[in-house]
Structure 1
């Protein structure tokens, strides 16, 4: 039987998401137990704080019971943290789920989405799965082109997604740029600001969208526990939005969409801000040091406001990620996600991991000279 004929026709255009290569996969492929350094998926290189680990372990004895649907306690704490009402907070199984739910809940079959490109690939994936038209607006000088997005919006546009800072280009749009952009859009268009890397931002003119929501009810802010809180493997994120938007999201989410362990981990993470901040500071310092080293060899690397760098090799033919992998470094080629040819993304690791990356890169370049 040809099951392709039974599936929805537009699924033929969907390519399954290809994640950054796990360390275990690299070991299997090379039939070795030797260690690899993974700098491919914008993860925090450090494990969760001990209090977070303890909260997860303590919750294990209760996983025979379904979690509280709606993540009540976590919603209350997030509302307190951001000085909003609980009715304005929605918790999801990672911000990915919330992106999916927003599209399913608000976009009609004949409507479209607009987002920058390259950017977070889930925008493209979700719109294609839902059979919707989407407009991908090319970045300009590795930065989200808000003017281009505005011109791409038409009377069929329902949602605009903006990743700020942008993944994979690592750059950001300013407060004034975003404010002008919002004023130029019809109020009925949902503008979703995806702020997965918010805690790594140092730019003083970065837009504070939680405050900007006061002047635009159709602005949705997404945040995640995956990055700065080291919870990428447990899947939990949240949205701050108008109460009606939150109510609609609850109508389309799955029952018990956020498991007990994730809720416990996130609650504990909210109490670990003082312990996490030194790691953030170190990541920012290492980010700048790595970028200087990349620029020194003559490669392009935009200023980053994230925990990763977007690197465009110059004078190097081919995918540098392959020879780096041979030397134990897992980086992420970005050409497949709309980046420039042979561009790659590099997560900022620990100081030791970053040192080993630079040593591996020196060896790769020496072998080519």
Structure 2
């Protein structure tokens, strides 16, 4: 029997990331600078909390993540109707592309996090890559290429260049995209490491229904192995993603 599936899947090449188990590397004595995880490791408070709850590992988890959502509501100052939780930020990224971007046009500034391209390819998207080492210096040209009824990806601060796009410039992108019925996917997985903490745009999801923001507990909190990510968006986007 010949098993058939989408060409985008059969031709897909999973992204190789840094880290202890990347590229066949399983030597614990190697100093790895490729995965951008905290050298301080997991917080001792997390270790203590996990030890106290080990007996619960034999049970299925709460699929609604009620306790986590309660904490995220306090942290983000947004209601849980604006928040979706996932098994790491990557799961949310792929679910977002699969849900909203099938066969649409996407605009991606490069160099940047490679999973945007990978997830979009599996959704059969068409690409435009905008080459820049500092998007803030090429903003007007970038905005001119925003696709109608498509999606724009922005990593802020950007991985791997470390540059950050000021909030005013991000708002300009989001507003211009809204006029073209275009979604804007902003990755803020490194935002807590930015000295100017007010550069986050999560509070704008109430104003712009075309905005979605990705967050993670991996980088800033040293919890890569636990796989906790969350997304912030309009009530409509979140309601759909939770399904």
| Residues 1:8 and 2:6 are matched in the alignment | yes
The separation in 2 between residues aligned to 1:212 and 1:19, in whole angstroms, is 31
Partner of 2:37: 43
TM-score (norm 2): 0.88
Across the aligned residues of Structure 1 and Structure 2, the Cα RMSD in angstroms comes to 2.3
Query: Which of 1 and 2 has greater Rg?
Result: 1
> Which among 201, 210, 220 is matched to residue 212 of structure 2?
220
Match of 1:130 in 2: 123
* Distance in 1 between residues matched to 2:25 and 2:108, nearest whole Å: 33
Change in 2 beyond 3 A, CA 1:20/1:66: same
Deviation at 1:182, TM superposition (A): 2.3
Q: Does 1:245 find its partner at 2:237?
A: yes
Q: Is the counterpart of residue 147 in structure 1 residue 147 in structure 2?
A: no
CA shift for structure 1 position 247: 0.7
Aligned with 2:59 (options 37, 45, 65): 65
TM value normalised by structure 1: 0.60
1:209 aligns with 2:207: no
SS of equivalent residue, structure 1 residue 233: helix
Deviation for aligned residue 1:8: 2.1
Aligned to 1:183: 175
Give CA deviations for 1:134-163 in whole Å, capped at 9, x if unaligned: 222111x44464334322223341x21110
Aligned counterpart, 1:89: 83
Q: Does 1:229 align with 2:221?
A: yes
Q: Separation in 2 of the partners of 1:223 and 1:8?
A: 30
Q: Distance in 1 between matches of 2:15 and 2:155?
A: 18
Q: For residues 23 and 127 of structure 1, what CA distance do their matches in structure 2 show? A: 25
Deviation for aligned residue 1:80: 1.7
Instruction: Decide whether aligned partners of structure 1 residues 190 and 154 sit closer, same or farther in structure 2, where only a CA change above 3 A counts.
Output: closer
Q: Which runs of 5+ in 1 are unaligned?
A: 252-369
Q: Secondary structure at the match of 1:186?
A: helix
Q: Deviations over 1:216-239 (max 9, x none)?
A: 122122111001111011111111
1:68 deviation in Å? 0.3
Comparing 169-178 with 213-222, which one deviates more in the overlay?
213-222
Do the aligned partners of 1:112 and 1:132 also contact (CA within 8 Å) in 2?
yes
Contact 1:13 1:128 in 2 (8 A): no
CA positional deviation for 1:53? 0.7
Unaligned 5+ runs, structure 2: none
- The question of whether the paired residues in 2 share the 8 Å contact of 1:23 and 1:37 is answered with no
The question of 1:22 aligning with 2:26 is answered no
Alignment partners' CA distance in 1, 2:64 and 2:129: 33
Cα separation, 2, equivalents of 1:104 and 1:97: 11
The answer for the alignment partner of 2:47 in structure 1 is 53
Number of equivalent positions = 240
